[in-house]
Amino acid sequence: MFNYSEEHAAYLRAIRKQKFWIHFFRIFLLLFFLIFWEISANFGWLNPFLYSSPSRIFITLFSLDSSLFHHIGITLYEVLLSFLASSFLSIVCASFLWRFPFLAKVLDPFFTIFNSLPKVALGPLIIIWIGANLSSICFMAFLISFFTTTITIYQQFSSVPSSYLLLMQSMKAKKYQIFWNVIFPSSLDSILTALKINAAMCFIGVIMGEFLVSKKGIGYLIQYGSQVFRLDLVISGILLLGILSYLFYLLIDFIQHFIHKKRGN
């Protein structure tokens, strides 16, 4: 049992109180938005055909029955594959760029060019090269997320204070020892933050890929709904994506907090 000082206890109470009000207002704003949306659709302030309503969305999702979980599972599987591949390769590539600064300078303009390319324009080429299948969807998501994540992680590796490096060099540490004992641990928090962005980019890439080639998944539901003017289905798919991406974000955030706790931060 810890014995906190009165000032420390008051500080902890203030932190808990702040967290409570943050969660309270999040829930309040969400409920207010949903209620206002439903009322606006019922009273004709918004055209329910164009903007739908929470009740119509619930009915639409319920009507999909078990196929809904199949579409969600397909999209999550594609996101997970592309996320794991792009995250791992981004960390490896950023590590190589840090280890070989000359190589980083040579490749810098190429990374900038590839990162700025509209990946959806490469969609037809990806389909021709790989085929209209799951691999092309995951590759599309990989292309969208890989370059941004690699650049972000590499910049963090390069921004570690030089005093840390000089200390390790004065102790005759080798490059790999500096990396594993200073660079990577110092950048871990920023890497996890970059992975949150990476997850969002993978969702974008997967949905773009499903628009182009898929016959299943949430992206397919949105595409199909727009083709047959079932806007309830389109908005339902968009809301599902928002919920899933937020849950993915919370998972990475939980891992980040767990690491902080283990490290005593």
Q: What's the pLDDT at 90?
A: 94
Identify each DSSP E strand in 115-197 by its residue range: none
CA nearest neighbour of 143 among 111, 108, 119:
119
Long-range contacts made by residues 164-169, C-beta under 8 angstroms, separation at least 24? Answer: none
| Residue 121 one-letter amino acid | A
Judging by beta carbons within 10 Å of its beta carbon (0-12, 13-18, 19+), is residue 55 exposed, middle or buried?
middle
Task: Report CA-CA distances (Å) from 237 to 12, 39, 129, 207, 241.
Answer: 41, 21, 29, 10, 6
Which backbone phi and psi does 112 adopt, to 5 degrees? -65, -45
Q: Which residues contact 118 (CB under 8 A, 6 or more apart)?
A: none
H or E, element range at 116 = helix 101-116
Overall fold of domain 56-263: MetI-like fold (1.10.3720)
Domain spans in the chain, listed from the N-terminal domain onward = 1-46, 56-263
| 29-83 tens-digit pLDDT | 999 999 999 999 888 888 888 888 888 888 888 887 778 888 899 999 999 999 9
| Residue 253 one-letter amino acid | D
Question: Residue 183 carries which DSSP code?
Answer: I
- pLDDT, averaged in runs of 10, over the chain (265 residues): 66 82 91 92 86 87 83 92 94 92 90 82 83 86 91 90 78 82 86 90 90 85 86 89 90 85 68
Q: What's the pLDDT at 4?
A: 61
Q: What's the pLDDT at 75?
A: 92
pTM: 0.84
